Structure 1
Amino acid sequence: MFSLVLVGTLGAWLGFANPVLQFPLAALAFPLALTWIGLRAISLKQAFKFGWFAGLLAGIGCYYWMVIPVQTYGGLPWFIALPCPVVLAAAMGIYYGLFSVAMYQAGQKLEGIPLCLLAGLTWASLEMLMGWLFSGFPWTNLASAFAPWPFAIQGAALLGAYGLSGVLTMLAVAALLFSTYRSTLYLSISLSIGICAFGVLRISHFNGPKASYPISIIQGNIDQGAKWDPEYQAATVKKYATLTLQAISHFHPKVVIWPETAMPFYFQDKTPYKKAVQILAKDSRTPIITGSPAYKVIDAKARKYVLYNRAWLVDDTGRALQRYDKEHLVPFGEYMPFEEWIPFKKLVQAAGDFVPGDNNQPIIIDGVALGMLICYEGIFPELAQQQVERGASVILNISNDAWFGETSAPNQHLNLTILRAVEQGRWLVRSTNTGISAFVDPLGRITAMSTQFKAEHLNAFVAPINDTTPFHRNYDLIARSIYALTVAMYGLFVFGARRKEQ
């Protein structure tokens, strides 16, 4: 069993973005090993134990970067920071332990193609639960490992990232069983050809509108440890203004995008820094979208207020009339869940104590609707779905990945966000403080990408798109069908077993 744990762990470490070498195909070894653990286990307890252990080790390798924001920017000692990725991996490992348990149970009743089908449905169901339960954290979404290979992720336009993960799991399990069941050999070959052929054909026959809408991204590369120091505020504004003027002089964009919390002050207040940004937008006749914290006074006398992680549009007249407040906050970073029961404060103190926004509409510039996603909102399919449902013709993700330092997290974050472009059939514009900033087309191909930890402007043309993908049109149906089919198949096992015993 320990050898299978090792296979699954190495598959996750190499398959997902990592500091050494990413080989997406290796990620299939993760569900393959978890399935094998379940099929070889002699008890439900053993299946869960080794499945959970494989998930724990895989998670530690994928979440190790958590130590950086907690210790370096959270100001907490190493003996608190170091266990954080282990605790998270242990919690997420429960899902993988349950998957092995499911395969243990299914393996006693099913064989061949039905077993592969149930494995795929179970994996997709568990990933959807990961994205929802306890606010959700679908960071190790299997489909995201294949984002560097655009041809392999086109299925997300049909089934979404979770559905595609289920198909990839079916492929992995079919490959595992082919020496025992001839039918699974045919299934593995068919799925491999189908995924590749559909991807290649969709890419080669894509006939979207011409990319003619110019956008500039500004990557300020501001030191996260210094950006909130009042002494650096003027230098920060000046740096973004200088890079913006360079972009405008070279490219003449319709809008310039600054990252999440690019402005380290309350933009709603009347300050010289706000005035400088307004003058820049007005004099250059170029709208600017920038992130900054915001507040709402609840009780002025009691000095009670709430904070928002906000994106502002400063239009070409210098007015800031449109905005977006982040809806899905980072637990233990931007807010403290179960605060009354947990005996410590937030793990990242510098992030602020925020409340979520609601009923956010796309930001509209000259008739083009930009669907906003702030930071890790880009890893949640439902938020991109919501923005497109409200009319977004381009998806805009602003983030500040400086928290992660020189780890694999920015690459993992980018790979997850790329799937939103394919799912929704939209151009994705991603602006970050230290990288990775990028322009991604509706097929998940990166058309322009920044260099990490370099102050620069990135320019490209995008195309506003109003057509929707099959995934978008059938979003609710797909999710319900995955859950319903999973439950139905397990229900049939239980019914069949009881009838046989009678």
Structure 2
Amino acid sequence: MRGLLLLLATLASSVLYGLSFPPAALRPLAWVALVPLLVALRLARSAAAALFLAWVWTVVMAYVVGDWFPRAVSAYYEQPFLVGLGLFFGVSTFMAAAEYMAFAVAYRSLAVRPSVMLPLAAAAAWVAAEFGRVELLTGNPWALAGYSQVGIAPMVQIADVAGVYGVTFTLLAVNASLAELWLAWRTGQARRRALAGLGLAAGMVALVVGYGLTRLAWPPGPAPAARAVPIAIVQGNLDLGAQWRPELYGENLDIYLRLTYQALRERKPALIFWPESAMTFFLDEEPLYRKAIARVVSAPGVQLIAGGPRETDSRPPAYYNSAFLLTQDGTIVASYDKQRLLPFAEYFPLGGLDLLRRRFARVREFTPGAPAPPLPTAAGAGGVTICNEAMFPDTSAARVRAGAEYLVNLANDTWVGDRKFAAIVFDTVTLRAVEQRRYLVRASTSGPSGIIDPLGRVVAATLPDTRGTLSGTVKPGGTRTFYCRVGDLFAVLCTAAAALGLIRRGRRE
């Protein structure tokens, strides 16, 4: 019976954690969602039982926030649903559960002789687990705890110092202190220590919220006198299944041209954004298509940033997932080639596994791009990330260090075809604006597309699964944040602190 109750507590924790993310977005749940898991880990009879509970928590949590994964894999790679389900279990186990299982062992060890500092030590260990998720193998930043608070402005401002891990640390300190309080009341022992730990966690919350309110009162980012540049985003909402087939080469251009013409008539933007994969042809090889674009984008000074493939003249040719900057006469001024490719979709880490390969006309897989300067746009230097690159904060930081005055994310969300996926990605990308204190423009194939200000506030956004345009303004500029300069130093320090605590505990034993 005891084991069953601990399992039920773990399952409840998984569901509560998932519900703190979109589409439910019950964000306050994140402050208590992990309490049942932490209690279950403490009460498990053995380390093996704790490891099992951590694995169960991860897999169930991953399904609550990522039930789209098996379906998307099955449809995208044209494989049976069981293949998608198998890959889901593999990714959840090796790119998330392994880290949380390590946390379970560390947490139980740190709690052998609990102290007032245990909630902070547990928070540091959880941050270390999330940091490992992002940095190990190909990286898995999906649904880190801190992203559940995007939309609560005072809570996320700390990201310009500590990144998402600063938010995660605060959440875990509260969860761990509540777990200690529950255990103390259950046993009738160490209630003072538990209350002191809760007070310590409350102090952390006060510091983080106080910092956030200060930032909101005196906003960082571009100078107040910075020029506001009018822009427009085009969201085609086209089925990826109709793209990259030889008979439909260039077929979708007319949709984007018609929407662009509409945006130019309504708002007169200086810069227009098309999403990743908007162009289903090789732009630099198609002068007629460039002329068609020029006939629409013909107003003086208007520029276009659009996503599409690029082919080199080498033999065999190399293919890149690229963003192009075009002037009103169709001239390609500059381009950016995606550097961090998506495993199994854009490159194949397991060369012998042909099961998940797709052929897109001439393109079989992409080549990572070389570092490049920001695009010299009418709105200033634009730091481009393509699709999943924006999920990794170090990529956006690198763009700002290279001189980006605002951030651009071109994305293809159509291949997944799930609103939960799109909403969680949008929240994740939103935090990049806070970390770097830059405006961020996101152009998605199916939405939501949007304009986000340096405080992480969504200035304007489209609805998902709709076709249309979005207009607004961005202000280029801003100083480099502490986070931009030092990166994930806070996460590194948390990892070191957790490791040091375990070493000291081991010596005492």
Same fold flag (TM > 0.5): yes
Q: What is aligned with 1:76? A: 79
Measured against aligned partners, the alpha-carbon deviations of 1:434-454 in whole angstroms (never above 9, x if no partner) come to 101011111111110101222
User: Where does 1:95-174 land on structure 2 (aligned, <5 Å)?
Assistant: 95-112=99-116, 114-174=117-177
Q: What is aligned with 2:190? A: none
Q: What is aligned with 2:239? A: 223
Contact between 2:233 and 2:471, CA under 8 Å: does it hold in 1?
Answer: yes
2:49 equivalent to 1:46 = yes
| More moved, 461-470 vs 430-439 | 461-470
The separation in 2 between residues aligned to 1:414 and 1:305, in whole angstroms, is 34
**How many angstroms does 1:128 deviate by?**
1.5
Task: State the AA in 2 paired with 1:169.
Answer: L
Measured against aligned partners, the alpha-carbon deviations of 1:12-51 in whole angstroms (never above 9, x if no partner) come to 2201223xx2201223444433322321122221111111
**How many angstroms does 1:479 deviate by?**
4.3
| More moved, 379-388 vs 93-102 | 93-102
Secondary structure at the aligned position of 1:435 is classed as coil
Q: What is aligned with 2:320? A: 308
Contact between 2:109 and 2:502, CA under 8 Å: does it hold in 1?
Answer: no
Contact between 2:422 and 2:464, CA under 8 Å: does it hold in 1?
Answer: no
Going from structure 1 to structure 2, the CA distance change for 1:77 and 1:3 (only over 3 Å counts) comes to closer
Q: What is aligned with 1:421? A: 433
Q: What is aligned with 2:188? A: none
Going from structure 1 to structure 2, the CA distance change for 1:367 and 1:251 (only over 3 Å counts) comes to closer
2:247 equivalent to 1:237 = no
The separation in 2 between residues aligned to 1:349 and 1:231, in whole angstroms, is 14
Going from structure 1 to structure 2, the CA distance change for 1:289 and 1:367 (only over 3 Å counts) comes to closer
Measured against aligned partners, the alpha-carbon deviations of 1:88-112 in whole angstroms (never above 9, x if no partner) come to 2222222222211111111103322
The separation in 2 between residues aligned to 1:248 and 1:345, in whole angstroms, is 44
What percentage of residue pairs aligned between the two structures are identical? 26
Contact between 2:13 and 2:34, CA under 8 Å: does it hold in 1?
Answer: yes
The separation in 2 between residues aligned to 1:476 and 1:22, in whole angstroms, is 26
**How many angstroms does 1:202 deviate by?**
1.9
Q: 1:3 aligns with which of 4, 8, 17?
A: 8
Q: What is aligned with 2:219? A: 206
2:278 equivalent to 1:274 = no
2:468 equivalent to 1:452 = no
Secondary structure at the aligned position of 1:59 is classed as helix
The separation in 1 between residues aligned to 2:36 and 2:394, in whole angstroms, is 30
Secondary structure at the aligned position of 2:398 is classed as helix
2:66 equivalent to 1:63 = yes
Going from structure 1 to structure 2, the CA distance change for 1:482 and 1:191 (only over 3 Å counts) comes to closer
The separation in 1 between residues aligned to 2:294 and 2:262, in whole angstroms, is 17
Contact between 1:216 and 1:460, CA under 8 Å: does it hold in 2?
Answer: yes
Q: What is aligned with 2:22? A: 17
Measured against aligned partners, the alpha-carbon deviations of 1:164-185 in whole angstroms (never above 9, x if no partner) come to 2122211211122235312122
User: Where does 1:259-298 land on structure 2 (aligned, <5 Å)?
Assistant: 259-283=275-299, 285-298=301-314
Q: What is aligned with 2:195? A: 182
Secondary structure at the aligned position of 2:143 is classed as coil
Contact between 2:71 and 2:81, CA under 8 Å: does it hold in 1?
Answer: no
Task: State the AA in 2 paired with 1:222.
Answer: L
Going from structure 1 to structure 2, the CA distance change for 1:297 and 1:482 (only over 3 Å counts) comes to farther
**How many angstroms does 1:233 deviate by?**
4.7
**How many angstroms does 1:312 deviate by?**
0.6
2:348 equivalent to 1:344 = no
State the 4+ residue runs in structure 1 displaced beyond 6 angstroms: none
Going from structure 1 to structure 2, the CA distance change for 1:195 and 1:207 (only over 3 Å counts) comes to closer
**How many angstroms does 1:118 deviate by?**
1.4
The separation in 2 between residues aligned to 1:370 and 1:482, in whole angstroms, is 33
The separation in 1 between residues aligned to 2:357 and 2:22, in whole angstroms, is 24
Q: What is aligned with 2:38? A: 35
Task: State the AA in 2 paired with 1:96.
Answer: Y
Secondary structure at the aligned position of 1:135 is classed as coil
Contact between 1:37 and 1:51, CA under 8 Å: does it hold in 2?
Answer: no
Aligned length in residues: 488
Contact between 1:65 and 1:407, CA under 8 Å: does it hold in 2?
Answer: no
The separation in 1 between residues aligned to 2:418 and 2:386, in whole angstroms, is 21
Measured against aligned partners, the alpha-carbon deviations of 1:280-301 in whole angstroms (never above 9, x if no partner) come to 33455411000001122432xx
| More moved, 134-143 vs 83-92 | 83-92
| More moved, 4-13 vs 321-330 | 4-13
The separation in 1 between residues aligned to 2:329 and 2:375, in whole angstroms, is 16
The separation in 2 between residues aligned to 1:85 and 1:159, in whole angstroms, is 30
The separation in 2 between residues aligned to 1:352 and 1:456, in whole angstroms, is 31
Task: State the AA in 2 paired with 1:243.
Answer: L
Q: 1:252 aligns with which of 268, 271, 275?
A: 268
Task: State the AA in 2 paired with 1:139.
Answer: W
Task: State the AA in 2 paired with 1:491.
Answer: I
The separation in 1 between residues aligned to 2:135 and 2:328, in whole angstroms, is 39
User: Where does 1:454-469 land on structure 2 (aligned, <5 Å)?
Assistant: 454-469=466-481
Q: What is aligned with 1:500? A: none
The separation in 1 between residues aligned to 2:417 and 2:379, in whole angstroms, is 37
The separation in 2 between residues aligned to 1:486 and 1:257, in whole angstroms, is 44
Task: State the AA in 1 paired with 2:111.
Answer: G
Gaps of 5+ in 1: 498-502
Q: 1:327 aligns with which of 339, 344, 357?
A: 339
> TM-score, normalized by length of structure 2?
0.91
The separation in 1 between residues aligned to 2:426 and 2:488, in whole angstroms, is 25
Secondary structure at the aligned position of 2:291 is classed as helix
Secondary structure at the aligned position of 2:40 is classed as helix
Going from structure 1 to structure 2, the CA distance change for 1:333 and 1:370 (only over 3 Å counts) comes to same
**How many angstroms does 1:230 deviate by?**
4.8
**How many angstroms does 1:231 deviate by?**
5.0
Contact between 2:155 and 2:167, CA under 8 Å: does it hold in 1?
Answer: no
Gaps of 5+ in 2: 1-5, 185-193
